[in-house]
Amino acid sequence: MKVFVGMSGGVDSSLTAALLIERGYNVAGVYMKNWSQDLPGMKCPWADDLADAKRVAVQLGIDLKVYDFEKEYRENVVEYMISAYSQGYTPNPDIMCNQEVKFKLFLETALVDGADMIATGHYATTRDNRLFMASDANKDQTYFLYRVTSQALSKTFFPLGKYTKQKVRQMSEDRHLFTAKKKDSQGICFVGKIGIREFLSQYVDTKPGDIIDQKTGKKIGTHDGAIFYTIGQRHGLNIGGGLPYYVVGKNMQSNEVYVSNDINHNGIWRSETKIESKHWINNVPKDGNYLARIRHRAPLVKITLLGSKVIFDEPQRAIAPGQSVVIYDGEECLGGGIIV
């Protein structure tokens, strides 16, 4: 069986390839060239990552292909992210990347190119074309994978799903992989260490606006663009003195950010939310009681699902429109939707 492994130049995908070779599969590596543009003060790391992937491929004695998805990535991930932020939402580009690129474009291209299966270094597990959480709860990445299809899962291996990150590092060092001690990438998934504010500033015209105390209606500060702020945000407001303020709302048309120093403000805490653009990996779940995650690494919380409505057993903090609610039945990730 021929397996094409998405190799990013990191330790996770490197070990993924090594493990599949050891299990007897005919393995080829694929580097997905999704983004190569340098930004002011930040050199895109794609060339270095490709070089690292090549070094590991040589170590393992496998071919490394390069798939150029830059055009599709810009259209389906980057423009989606910029558009969502411009409308006042807080999108998750990693989720869209998995949906549109890794488990759609990469999979389709690999199958046409001769692969029987693909594999990635994600921390997740599959059984019977269903998606389940990884053994390492701290590294579990099913939140980012909830928009993949059962058809894609039927053609995908996740060899790292039963290991902890510490174990992955150790196994990579035991095999003397070139990337064994390479640090995990930070920042925006496709650019590197640059922050979202710096990235958006290159593509969206922003201007200063007023920060308004929602209770009094008075201006208490200024911001450098409502696009940069998200519900529940505390840091970066530069409002001096007294109790800390939290973002409880914003108006993109008037470029105003609304804040409150009441930690119990109903703009911060919500007992329910609606979701749109719903995606279910297998069957549409029946209305009833489930678990959900409202952010990556947020704790699983008890919910009641009623169609497009998610009711939390206990109010949840900082429910940001544009983010995702991901629904679980025990260890199984069923799918989810985007917060309205």
Which residues partner with 171 through β-bridges? Answer: none
Which helix (H) or strand (E) element contains residue 304? strand 301-306
268 exposed, middle or buried (CB, 10 Å; 0-12, 13-18, 19+)? buried
Active site includes 97?
yes
Tokens of 322: 């544009």
Catalytic pick among 11, 78, 177, 189: 189
Which residues partner with 28 through β-bridges? Answer: 4
**What is the rounded distance in angstroms from the CA atom of residue 199 to the CA atom of residue 194?**
7
Per-residue pLDDT of the chain (340 residues; tens, 9 = 90+): 999 999 999 999 999 999 999 999 999 999 999 988 877 777 788 889 999 999 999 999 999 999 999 999 999 999 999 999 999 999 999 999 999 999 999 999 999 999 999 999 999 999 999 999 999 999 999 999 999 999 999 999 999 999 999 999 999 999 999 999 998 876 566 555 667 788 888 888 889 999 999 999 999 999 999 999 999 999 888 887 778 999 999 999 999 999 999 999 999 999 999 999 999 999 999 999 999 999 998 999 999 999 999 999 999 999 999 999 999 999 999 999 999 9
Which residues partner with 190 through β-bridges? Answer: none
Active site includes 189?
yes
Catalytic pick among 19, 97, 226, 305: 97
Which residue reads 């008075």 in tokens? 218
293-319: burial string, b at 16+ Cβ within 10 Å, e else: bbbbeeeebebebeeeebebeeebebb
270 exposed, middle or buried (CB, 10 Å; 0-12, 13-18, 19+)? middle
**Sign of the alpha-carbon torsion through 216, 222, 225, 231:** negative
At residue 200, the pLDDT reads 87
**pTM of the predicted protein model:** 0.93
At residue 194, the pLDDT reads 66
User: Where does 209-314 have alpha helices with state H?
Assistant: none
278 exposed, middle or buried (CB, 10 Å; 0-12, 13-18, 19+)? middle
Tokens of 106: 């990469």
Query: Which 3 state secondary structure label does DSSP give 146?
Result: coil
Tokens of 99: 């949906």
**Amino acid identity at 338:** I
> Could you please report the per-residue DSSP string of 29-76?
EEEEE-----BTTB--THHHHHHHHHHHHHHHT--EEEEE-HHHHIII
Which helix (H) or strand (E) element contains residue 269? strand 269-280
323-336: burial string, b at 16+ Cβ within 10 Å, e else: bbbbbbeebbbbbb
